[in-house]
């Protein structure tokens, strides 16, 4: 190398440039979370998106409170024939012509009713609750499965890697959303019956499972790449020379170093999951009616867009705000803990 050929004791020269060019984010310090938090706190995009996120999550959690103590109606309760007092006058919740009441600004029917006379505000809150529950479970499944497959493929290489990588190739060569629709529809009717475990067709766990599984590829690919380069790093070599077993190397050396990648990927995957759930539910392959979710609310809303545009606009805006906040938060975190874009590079290399 250059150093060896130098006759004089002067270090090799070059224009001033950032040195280190490792393939992997730096080994984890406990400071990942703290660094992310600092970055979020110090940028307005981070603060704004965190605030939005907290508001949406908190209001979804508070759905039962609003339903029981304010609106006095459940998410599935019909008020087709009811009347409420509006500006001192008794008004039909759904008129004779079938037109539902608009936003009242009062406790009951704050955002109006839908064609079945259900309280939209209550449904919106419960819809968010459903969407978020599904997304949270699905994201967890994706991260777990993705880490598992990526780690195994990248660490053991050889035929294990070939099998997993080809499998991921195949997953990626089908329009994944279609796979989701097919699975969603097929399971919505009969539920899932695995002998010991039976899941009914209208369970929220079904869309969560489907979305969680089919998104695995987005985590497995980059993590495989990162693991491949991690296993060549000196500290793994050192552990191996001290006689550490594969399990121990994975647990003690590789896994902790995947932290950065997971933390970078998590918000983006979460955002993608939320969009996905909405899309599937919109097409009738996710949350099954009459259960609300952001996707089904938009789908219902589009049917009456002419008479009641707010039924489309409001759930869509909340959904967009949620996804946008997660993406922004993901950006802020990535810039803070992976400024050189290693994780993004690993994602790209795999194509």
Partner 1 sequence: MTAPTAPTPAGAPDAASDLLLDIDGLGVAFPSERGPIHAVRDVRLTLRRGEVLAVVGESGSGKSVTALTLLGLTRGRGTAITGKAEFDGIDLIGASDSQLRRIRGKRIAMVFQDPMSSLNPVLRIGHQIAEQIRAHEGVGKAEARKRTIDALTEVGIPRAAERVDAYPHEFSGGMRQRVMIAMALVCGPELLIADEPTTALDVTVQAQILDLILRLRDERGMSVMLVTHDLGVVAETADQVAVMYGGRIVEQAPCDELFADPRHPYSWGLIGSIPPLTGAKPEYLPTIAGTPPSPLALPAGCPFRARCPHEFEQCAEVPPLAETAGAPGHLDRCWLPIDEKRIRRAGADGRIGLLHDAEATTEESA
Partner 2 sequence: MIGFIIRRLASMVLVLFAVSVLVFAIFNIIPGGDPAVRMAGKNPTDVQIEAIRKEWGFDKPVTTQYAKMIEKTFDGQLISYSNRENVLERIKEGLPRTLSLTFWSSLFMLVGGIALGMLSALRPNSFADRTINAIAVVGISLPVFWIGGLMSYYLGSKAGIIPAGGYVSISEGGVLDWFWHLLAPSLAISFLFIGIYSRVLRGDLLDALRADYVRTAEAKGLSKRRVVVRHALRNALIPMITLWGLDVAITLGGGAVLTETVFDLDGVGAYLADSTRSLDVPPVMAITLLGAIAVVVMNAIIDILYAYLDPRIRL
5 contributes a contact to partner 1 by CB under 8 A = yes
| Shortest distance (Å) from residue 65 CB to partner 2 | 27
User: Of the listed pieces 10-18, 99-107, 316-324, 331-339, which binds partner 1 according to CB under 8 A?
Assistant: 10-18
Q: Which does 309 bind (CB under 5 to 8 A by kind): partner 2, partner 1, none?
A: partner 2
E-strand spans in the chain? 83-86, 89-92, 192-193, 198-199
Q: Which does 5 bind (CB under 5 to 8 A by kind): partner 1, partner 2, none?
A: partner 1
196 contributes a contact to partner 1 by CB under 8 A = no
* Total site size for partner 1, rule CB under 8 A: 13
Specify whether the CB–CB gap between 210 and 180 falls below 8 A.
Answer: yes
| Shortest distance (Å) from residue 189 CB to partner 2 | 5
Smaller CB separation from partner 1, 15 or 173: 15
Q: Which of 11, 88, 158, 175 is in the footprint of partner 1 by CB under 8 A?
A: 11
15 contributes a contact to partner 1 by CB under 8 A = yes
Burial class from Cβ neighbours inside 10 Å (0-12, 13-18, 19+) for residue 37 reads middle
Binding site for partner 2 (CB under 8 A): 166, 169-170, 172-175, 177-179, 181-183, 185-187, 189-190, 192-193, 271, 275, 278-279, 282-285, 298-299, 302, 305-306, 309, 312-313, 316, 319-320, 323-324, 327-328, 331, 341, 344, 348, 351
Query: What CA–CA distance (Å, rounded) separates 221 from 140?
Result: 17
Specify whether the CB–CB gap between 302 and 312 falls below 8 A.
Answer: yes
At 198, give phi and psi (nearest 5°). -120, 125
Q: Which does 175 bind (CB under 5 to 8 A by kind): partner 2, partner 1, none?
A: partner 2
| Shortest distance (Å) from residue 74 CB to partner 2 | 26
Helix axes 44-61, 310-337, angle to 10 degrees: 130
Q: Which residues contact 65 (CB under 8 A, 6 or more apart)?
A: none
2 contributes a contact to partner 1 by CB under 8 A = yes
Q: Which does 16 bind (CB under 5 to 8 A by kind): partner 2, partner 1, none?
A: partner 1
21 contributes a contact to partner 1 by CB under 8 A = no
| Shortest distance (Å) from residue 33 CB to partner 2 | 23
What is the torsional sign of CA 126, 127, 130, 133? negative
95 contributes a contact to partner 1 by CB under 8 A = no
What's the CA angle centered on 259, arms 254 and 261, to 5 degrees?
A: 100
Residue 248, Cβ neighbours under 10 Å: how many?
A: 13
Helices (H) and strands (E) in the chain, counts: 15, 4
158 contributes a contact to partner 1 by CB under 8 A = no
Smaller CB separation from partner 2, 46 or 117: 46
Smaller CB separation from partner 2, 9 or 339: 339
Specify whether the CB–CB gap between 208 and 141 falls below 8 A.
Answer: yes
Element (DSSP H or E) covering residue 282: helix 259-282
Binding stretches for partner 1 (CB under 8 A): 2, 5-16
């Amino acid at each position: 190398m250059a150093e060896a050929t130098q006759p004089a004791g002067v270090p090799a020269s070059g224009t001033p440039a950032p040195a280190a060019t490792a393939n992997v984010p730096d080994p984890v310090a406990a400071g990942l979370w703290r660094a992310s938090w600092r970055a979020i706190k110090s940028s307005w995009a981070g603060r704004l998106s965190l605030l939005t996120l907290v508001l949406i999550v908190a209001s979804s959690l508070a759905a039962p409170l609003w339903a029981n103590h304010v609106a006095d109606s459940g998410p599935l309760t019909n008020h087709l024939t009811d009347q409420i007092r509006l500006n001192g006058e008794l008004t039909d919740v759904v008129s004779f012509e079938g037109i539902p009441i608009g936003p009242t600004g009062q406790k009951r029917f704050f955002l109006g009713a839908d064609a079945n006379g259900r309280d939209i505000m209550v449904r919106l809150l419960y819809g968010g609750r459903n969407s978020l529950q599904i997304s949270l479970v699905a994201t967890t499944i994706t991260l777990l499965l993705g880490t598992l497959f990526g780690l195994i493929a990248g660490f053991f290489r050889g035929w294990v890697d070939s099998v997993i990588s080809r499998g991921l190739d195949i997953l990626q060569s089908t329009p994944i959303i279609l796979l989701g629709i097919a699975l969603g529809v097929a399971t919505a009717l009969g539920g899932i019956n695995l002998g010991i475990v039976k899941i009914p067709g209208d369970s929220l766990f079904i869309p969560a499972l489907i979305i969680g599984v089919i998104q695995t590829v987005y985590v497995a690919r980059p993590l495989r790449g990162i693991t491949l380069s991690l296993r060549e790093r000196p500290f793994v070599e050192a552990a191996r020379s001290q006689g550490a077993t594969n399990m121990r190397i994975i647990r003690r050396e590789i896994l902790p170093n995947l932290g950065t990648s997971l933390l970078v990927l998590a918000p983006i995957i979460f955002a993608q999951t939320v969009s996905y759930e909405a899309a599937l539910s919109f097409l009738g392959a996710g949350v099954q009616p009459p259960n609300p979710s952001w996707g089904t609310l938009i789908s219902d809303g589009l049917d009456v867009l002419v008479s009641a545009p707010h039924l489309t606009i409001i759930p869509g805006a909340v959904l967009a705000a949620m996804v946008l906040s997660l993406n922004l938060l993901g950006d802020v975190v990535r810039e803070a803990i992976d400024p050189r874009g290693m994780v993004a590079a690993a994602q790209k290399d795999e194509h």
